[in-house]
């Protein structure tokens, strides 16, 4: 009796995993994945690190905005 119960549980787990894989493949084929929009990265002009504009430090000079990874890079840019 226990062997049958264990077999049923394992069979259900395998079936669930199989259908999750199939569902993922179909979502990918339709292009309706759960991915968010890609984030545009900008390059720090001092050290060259790529940063997200939303989380970077910024400085506007000469009509253009520059983004920095740290306060140190922003200070070095100001000094130059």
Q: What is the pTM of this model?
A: 0.53
60 in helix, strand or coil?
strand
Q: What is the mean pLDDT of residues 14-29?
A: 90
Supply 9's token pair.
């549980």
Return the pLDDT at 35. Answer: 62
Q: Residue 62 pLDDT > 90, yes or no?
A: no
Beta bridge partners of 67: 58
In angstroms, rounded to a whole number, what is the distance separating the alpha carbons of residues 62 and 15?
62
Q: Residue 21 pLDDT > 90, yes or no?
A: yes
Q: Residue 33 pLDDT > 60, yes or no?
A: no
Up-side HSE of residue 8: CA atoms within 13 Å toward CB? 5
Q: Residue 30 pLDDT > 70, yes or no?
A: yes
Q: What is the mean pLDDT of residues 62-76?
A: 93
In angstroms, rounded to a whole number, what is the distance separating the alpha carbons of residues 30 and 4?
39
In angstroms, rounded to a whole number, what is the distance separating the alpha carbons of residues 53 and 39?
9
């Amino acid at each position: 009796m226990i062997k049958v119960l264990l077999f049923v549980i394992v069979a259900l787990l395998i079936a669930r995993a199989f259908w999750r894989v199939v569902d993922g493949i179909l979502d990918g084929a339709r292009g309706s994945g759960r991915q968010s929009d890609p984030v545009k990265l900008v390059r720090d002009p001092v050290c060259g690190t790529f940063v997200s504009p939303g989380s970077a430090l910024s400085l506007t000079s000469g009509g253009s905005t520059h983004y920095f990874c740290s306060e140190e890079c922003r200070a070095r840019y100001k000094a130059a």
